[in-house]
Amino acid sequence: MPSKKQPIFPSEKKLLADFGERLRLARLRREISAETLAERASISRMTLYRAEKGSPAVALGTYLRILAALHLQDDINLLAQDDRLGRKLQDLELPKRREAK
C-alpha cells in the first residue's frame, strides 16, 4: 500500500527550491555538466534534475552525495547548528526558586 503523501508548505517549497538553485549554481561555477555530477554522485540525471529543482521527494542522503561530489559536504554541518529557540526554551525550564513562606 503506497504511503500517504505529506503536504509541504509554500515556505518549505521555497527553501528547497532555493537550495536546489544553489546546488545548480555551484555545479555551473565548477563547469561540471549535469551528466558528470550525476555520475560522480552515483545518481541518475533525472534525480539530479529533481534535486536542482528542489523536489521534496529527493532524499537527504542524495543531497549529501551531491554536496560531496561538489566538495561541499562539510556544509551539512551548518544545518540546525545554532538552535537559538531550543536554548531559549531550555532556559525557561531552569529550576525555579522556592517561594518564601
For 13-47, the pLDDT digits (tens) are 999 999 999 999 999 999 999 999 999 999 999 99
How many domains does the chain contain in total?
Answer: 1
In a domain, 86, yes or no: yes
In a domain, 101, yes or no: no
Contact assessment for residue 53 and residue 62, using Cβ atoms and an 8 Å cutoff: no
| CATH number of residue 51's parent domain | 1.10.260.40
In a domain, 5, yes or no: no
CA dist 89 and 3 (Å) reads 34
In a domain, 57, yes or no: yes
Q: Judge residue 20's burial from the number of C-beta atoms within 10 Å of its C-beta, 0-12 exposed, 13-18 middle, 19 or more buried.
A: buried
Name residue 42's amino acid: S
Q: What is the pTM of this model?
A: 0.79
For 60-80, the pLDDT digits (tens) are 999 999 999 999 999 999 988
